Amino acid sequence: MSDIPGGFVDRLKAVLGADKVLTDPADCWSYGQDNSRKHALPAAVAFATTHAQVLETVRLCNEFNVSIVARGRGTGTTGSAVPLRGGLVLSLERMDRIVDMDPANRVMRVEPGVLNQAIQDKASEHGFFWPPDPTSGAYCTVGGNIAVNAAGPRALKYGSTRENVLGLVAVTGQGEEIHTGTNTTKGVVGYDLTRLIIGSEGTLAIVTEATLKLTSLPESRRTLQAVYADVRAAAAAVSRIMAQPVMPYALEFMDSAAIEMIRNYSAAELPRGAGALLMIEVDGPEAAMDSIVAGISTAARGDGLLSLAAASTRDEASALWATRKALSPALRNIAPNKLNEDVVVPVSRIPDLIDGLEQLSREYGIPIVNFGHAGNGNIHVNLLYDSQDPQQERNALPCVSKVFDLVLKLGGTLSGEHGIGVAKRDYINRAIDPVTLDLMRRIKHQFDPRGILNPDKIFPPRRN
């Protein structure tokens, strides 16, 4: 299916308009990749602007047996938006309307190409926000957030995309229009297809509209930074903090390797001997903030605490967050290549995960830097290697394989917010038993009988 017949292109141009269909390889090239750096050249790229156009495009792909990959801005990190079989890439970036803002019912209806940041800006005008806050929020689309069940630091308190979408309008792989979910925050009528489609990475249906559940903006927010001698002391503090009556809305973690990297590549001041760092943010009524901060501070104190700072102004909070923001530039400086895995383990097993990763780093000769969302055990494991170093190039993927084995041994899972795509496809059968995986394949077949929607993603290839 890497080539598509001319008759298909002519029909597609009739549906979308000739100026919305690209076939020149030079024009199509940039739509063959996402932030995973994987690439496959699509035979054609099309730009839909309405639900009806998406519907007709999928029906055409069925008629001509052409694979179709829907995409937003390509910020995903697992290759979900890479058209492995060529075929058609359907860009939804021009479907970027906020269809309806309904403050009275705390909902917003949007098309899939709306940027996460645009949703936040519109919601904030009415005193609300949408909880999913991935790092790429200024650039990623709500369709992409839905595809991988995106989250971010706020998910600790407010949930991921799945908990904040009420309903969807979508087109199945068979070219059928479906409506899932409700316009209300409660509803138990039939199967929950909304939650099934969210996180399916465009393999079941192409979303053309979403009804988002909004949350009231907090009156106040406070930031704390706690530095510990080692990871076990930090993990114990996380357990104490999470037992507080008021849950933090963000509880971020960095290990000693990340701290040293920041120390070497920024002006951030951190105590010597730091083995772990927690960034803690709480929100709520202004009148209650002093009491909330006092409770969190008490919970943060314990054996191994080296320093604890609480910000009382926006500038002080920005200064504390500067430490975390220095990490990404530092990662780019230390190694030309990076494998970023967003694994999840039970919070109590974070120290065992970090210990195991340190052993793997020594065994394979690859630096491993870890940070992430400590409150729910979602740790971003960064393998930093040089592809020009033959030994590191040979060791990178075997090391990743061992990382996944370690995570599963600790009772964890392979992805918390990035999805599976192609990057983790060949490991999924370690996490899901054969019977369950087969059921998932059969669900895929019901939505997409010809297998044209984002093929070769999530499921490992069948072996003859």
- For the cut 70, the answer to whether the pLDDT of residue 377 exceeds it is yes
- 116 and 85 in one domain? no
% of the chain beyond a pLDDT of 70: 97
Q: Look up residue 428 and give its two tokens.
A: 């999924």
Q: pLDDT by residue (tens digit) across 389-407?
A: 899 999 999 999 999 999 9
CATH number at residue 177: 3.30.465.10
- pLDDT-based confidence at 332, cuts 50/70/90? low
Asked whether the beta carbons of 223 and 280 are under 8 A apart, the reply is yes
Question: Is residue 335 pLDDT above 80, yes or no?
Answer: no
Phi, psi of 232 (to 5 degrees): -65, -40
CA distance 315 to 298: 24
- Whether residue 464 is predicted with pLDDT greater than 60 in this model: the reply is no
Number of domains in the chain: 4
| 350 domain-assigned | yes
What's residue 322's pLDDT? Answer: 77
Average pLDDT over residues 218-240: 95
How many CB atoms are located within 10 Å of the residue 41 CB? 15
Show the tokens assigned to 112.
């899939």
| Residue of 154 and 326 predicted with greater confidence | 154
Whether 74 and 146 share a structural domain: no
Given a cut of 80, whether residue 176 has pLDDT beyond it is yes
What was the pLDDT predicted at 2?
53
C-alpha atoms less than 13 angstroms from C-alpha of 158 in its C-beta half-sphere: 26
pLDDT digits (tens, 9 = 90+) for 38-75: 999 999 999 999 999 999 999 999 999 999 999 999 99
- The answer on 211 and 296 residing in a single domain is no
Q: Compute the average pLDDT of residues 101-116.
A: 98
DSSP secondary structure, 402-423, as one string? HHHHHHHHTT-BS-SSS--TTT
pLDDT at 428 over 90: yes
The whole-number pLDDT of residue 170 equals 98
- Consecutive H or E run containing 110: strand 107-110
Distance separating the N- and C-terminal Cα atoms of the chain: 21
Instruction: Provide the pLDDT for residue 266.
Output: 64
Q: 255-271: per-residue pLDDT in tens? A: 999 988 887 766 667 78
Q: Would you state the structure tokens that stand for residue 398, as one six-digit string?
A: 């075997």
Of 323, 355, 376, at which residue does a domain stop? 323
Q: Helix, strand, or coil here: 177?
A: strand
* 110 and 202 co-located in one domain: yes
Decide if 28 contacts 22 (C-beta within 8 A).
yes
**DSSP-based helix, strand, coil % in the chain, nearest 5:** 40, 25, 35
Residue, of 327 and 394, whose pLDDT is higher: 394
- For residue 439, is pLDDT > 70? yes
Task: Note whether 165 and 259 are same-domain residues.
Answer: no
**188 and 111 inside one domain:** yes
Instruction: Give domain status of residue 328, yes or no.
Output: no
| pLDDT level of residue 37 (50, 70, 90 thresholds) | confident
Range among 81-90, 252-261, 311-320, 382-391 rated most confident: 81-90
DSSP 30-79: GGGB-TT--B---SEEEE--SHHHHHHHHHHHHHHT--EEEESS---SSS
* Residue 462 pLDDT grade (very low, low, confident, very high; cuts 50, 70, 90): confident
Residue 200 domain flag: yes
The predicted pLDDT at position 67 comes to 97
Separation of alpha carbons 150 and 342, rounded Å = 12
Q: What is the pLDDT of residue 18?
A: 97
Q: What is the pLDDT of residue 325?
A: 73
Structural domain containing residue 369:
335-450
Task: Kindly list the strands in the beta sheet with 165-172, ordered across the sheet, starting from the edge strand earlier in the chain.
Answer: 98-102, 107-110, 205-213, 165-172, 177-181
Structure tokens at 316: 């002080």
Pair (363, 314) in one structural domain: no
CATH of the domain at 381: 3.30.70.2740
Phi-psi group of 361: left, alpha or beta (phi > 0 → left; psi -120 to 50 → alpha; rest → beta):
alpha
Averaged pLDDT for residues 27-31:
97
| Mean pLDDT, residues 171-193 | 95
Choosing from 65, 91, 117, the residue where a domain stops is: 91
Residue 329 lies in a domain: no
Q: Do residues 291 and 354 both lie within one domain?
A: no
Q: What average pLDDT does the segment 437-441 reach?
A: 97
Partner residues linked to 108 by β-bridges:
101, 212
Task: Please indicate, yes or no, if residue 127 is contained in any of the structural domains.
Answer: yes
The Cα 127–Cα 146 span in angstroms is 23
Residue 49 has phi, psi (to 5 degrees) of: -125, -5
Tokens 């479906």 found at: 178
Given the structure tokens 């999913």, which residue do they identify? 132
Q: From CA 382, how far away is CA 377, in angstroms rounded?
A: 15
Question: How far, in whole angstroms, is CA 399 from its chain's centroid?
Answer: 22
Q: Is the pLDDT of residue 355 over 60?
A: yes
pLDDT computed for residue 267 by the predictor: 62
Of the pLDDT bands very low, low, confident and very high (cuts 50, 70, 90), residue 102 is very high
pLDDT at 74: 96
> Which whole number is the average pLDDT over 108-119?
98
Question: Are 237 and 313 in the same domain?
Answer: yes
User: Do residues 207 and 105 both lie within one domain?
Assistant: yes
β-strand partners of 216: 128
| Pairwise CA distance, residues 47 & 175, whole Å | 17
Regarding beta strands 21-22 and 337-344, do their DSSP bridges make them parallel or antiparallel, or are they unpaired?
unpaired
Paired tokens of 330? 């530092």
Query: What pairing do the DSSP bridges indicate for beta strands 305-311 and 368-373?
Result: unpaired
Q: Tell me whether residue 459 is in a domain.
A: no
Whole-number Å distance between alpha carbons of 154 and 171: 30
- What is the phi/psi pair of residue 141, to 5°? -100, 160
Q: What is the pTM of this model?
A: 0.94
- CB neighbourhood size of 86 (10 A): 20
209/224 same-domain check: no
- Is 137 within 8 Å of 154 (Cβ atoms)? no
d(CA 387, CA 12): 41
Domain at 30, CATH number: 3.30.43.10
Looking at the fold, whether 358 and 294 belong to one and the same domain comes out as no
Provide the pLDDT confidence category of residue 1 given band limits of 50, 70 and 90. very low
Domain boundary among 276, 297, 323: 323
